[in-house]
Amino acid sequence: MSKLFETVRVGRYTLANRLAMGPMTRSRAQFDGTPGELAAEYYAQRASMGLIVTEGTQPSEDGQGYMATPGIHSDAHVAGWRKVADAVHAKGGHLFMQLMHAGRMSHPDNTPHHRQGVAPSAIAPKTPMFTPSGMQDIPVPRALSTAEVRQTVDDFRMAARRAIQAGADGVEIHGANAYLVQQFFAPSANTRDDEYGGSIYNRARFAIEVAKAIAAEIGADRTAIRLSPGTTLWGIDEGPEGPDLYRHLIAELDKLGLAYLHIMDQGDQALLADIRKLWKGTLILNRPGRPREQIGADVASGLAEVEAYGQMVLANPDFVARLKANAPVNEPDRNTYFGGSAAGYTDYPAMAWK
């Protein structure tokens, strides 16, 4: 496990250790999408993680899907995130902002503008979603025109610029978990007949264009992407060509020299081995529900340079110190994952040193 505590170079930064906080939506932002008052404290408490990846943050108004998620498309958002970045940096940490466009995973009741969600095609995910009045079915989204797809690429670029203005060390494109980028990958969500639909090359195009646009704007060494190849969440079915789409996508992304690729493992170990071969840069690996005794194994074996953990970091602000000391951990409370204020957010105790 000790290799986890060694420094590592990621993009233009040297991280204090090889542990990352995975991105986690907490739905505690202000109504206009400015991070909540406690966000700076929450992230600063976790700054001993080598890297913090922030909660999914919408690059545009239409990118919002859930209630009370933060944005990075207005001056108020920049000012709010500036407090977060400054607080993390004051504690010696690094943070990449996750840019998340929810695409069709959106309900009009959850956004200030109440518009219909937008997506590659007008196909509903056939799943309910939490809204202010409880669980509701997600309506059919509006298909983006080709010009709007290009505008969305540009929205990501502008959001990345604003993230850097706010003091973030970089951005991570959310290409995982059935949101907009992954909706383009999946024939079950993308039946377009323009250059963004059809072949695996066309379905991968949006992700590649977003990565290129952001890299050109803020530097490839501050640009990263998260993928969850093969997920079947919320009506996503990448079909039999799915693994080939990822082989093509990752080979293309590798040419850009990005800061890192963040894989949320879905269990296909043959594909993971291929990804490791195709990806020459830094790989961050998140294995959902990883048992404690396995922590450090992927860094030790050289499969990944960094390991990311979500819920354990949510519940343990001093996760690194606990691992070093082989100390017990706080268990996360699912009831306070989304919404609310300090309870289950900034009040998880650090270890009491005797």
Ligand X SMILES: Cc1cc2nc3c(=O)[nH]c(=O)nc-3n(C[C@H](O)[C@H](O)[C@H](O)COP(=O)(O)O)c2cc1C
311 binds ligand X (CB under 6 A): yes
Among 77, 205, 212, 226, binds ligand X (CB under 6 A): 226
25 binds ligand X (CB under 6 A): yes
CB of 252 to ligand X, least distance (A): 21
CB atoms within 10 A of CB 193: 9
Report 321-350 residues binding ligand X (CB under 6 A).
Answer: 337
Distances in whole angstroms, Cα of residue 271 to Cα of each of 14, 137, 232, 275: 29, 33, 16, 6
Region of 123-131, 144-152, 239-247, 303-311 interacting with ligand X (CB under 6 A):
303-311
Nearest to 163 by CA among 67, 254, 99: 99
CB of 7 to ligand X, least distance (A): 22
Among 117, 310, 317, 344, binds ligand X (CB under 6 A): 310
67 binds ligand X (CB under 6 A): no
Nearest to 3 by CA among 20, 25, 22, 19: 19
80 binds ligand X (CB under 6 A): no
Contact (Cβ atoms closer than 8 angstroms) between residue 253 and residue 225: yes
23 binds ligand X (CB under 6 A): yes
Nearest to 145 by CA among 213, 195, 98: 195
- In the complex with ligand X, the residue whose CB is nearer, 149 or 263, is 263
Region of 125-133, 183-191, 271-279, 284-292 interacting with ligand X (CB under 6 A):
284-292
Among 55, 209, 221, 238, binds ligand X (CB under 6 A): 55
- In the complex with ligand X, the residue whose CB is nearer, 101 or 212, is 101
Region of 31-39, 83-91, 121-129, 305-313 interacting with ligand X (CB under 6 A):
305-313
Contact (Cβ atoms closer than 8 angstroms) between residue 313 and residue 49: yes
The secondary structure of 1-25 as a DSSP string is -GGGGS-EEETTEEESSSEEEPP--
CB of 309 to ligand X, least distance (A): 4
Among 128, 267, 288, 328, binds ligand X (CB under 6 A): 288
Burial class, 126, CB count within 10 angstroms (exposed 0-12 / middle 13-18 / buried 19+): exposed
Distance CA 172, CA 3 (A): 24
217 binds ligand X (CB under 6 A): no
Among 46, 77, 174, 203, binds ligand X (CB under 6 A): 174
* Residue count, binding to ligand X (CB under 6 A): 21
260 binds ligand X (CB under 6 A): no
28 binds ligand X (CB under 6 A): no
| DSSP H or E segment with residue 227 | strand 223-227
Q: Which two tokens stand for residue 133?
A: 């009045």
Region of 106-114, 116-124, 233-241, 285-293 interacting with ligand X (CB under 6 A):
285-293
316 binds ligand X (CB under 6 A): no
22 binds ligand X (CB under 6 A): yes
4 binds ligand X (CB under 6 A): no
Q: End-to-end CA distance of the chain: give it in Å, rounded.
A: 24
Nearest to 23 by CA among 288, 291, 253, 296: 288
Q: What residues have CB less than 8 Å from 201, skipping those under 6 apart?
A: 248
Please identify every residue annotated as catalytic: 179
- In the complex with ligand X, the residue whose CB is nearer, 120 or 310, is 310
Report 120-149 residues binding ligand X (CB under 6 A).
Answer: none
Alpha helices (runs of H) in 46-138, residue ranges in sequence order: 75-90
Cα–Cα–Cα angle for 84, 89, 91, rounded to 5 degrees: 105
User: Would you tell me which residues interact with ligand X (CB under 6 A)?
Assistant: 22-25, 55-56, 98, 100, 174, 176-177, 226, 264, 286, 288-289, 309-312, 337
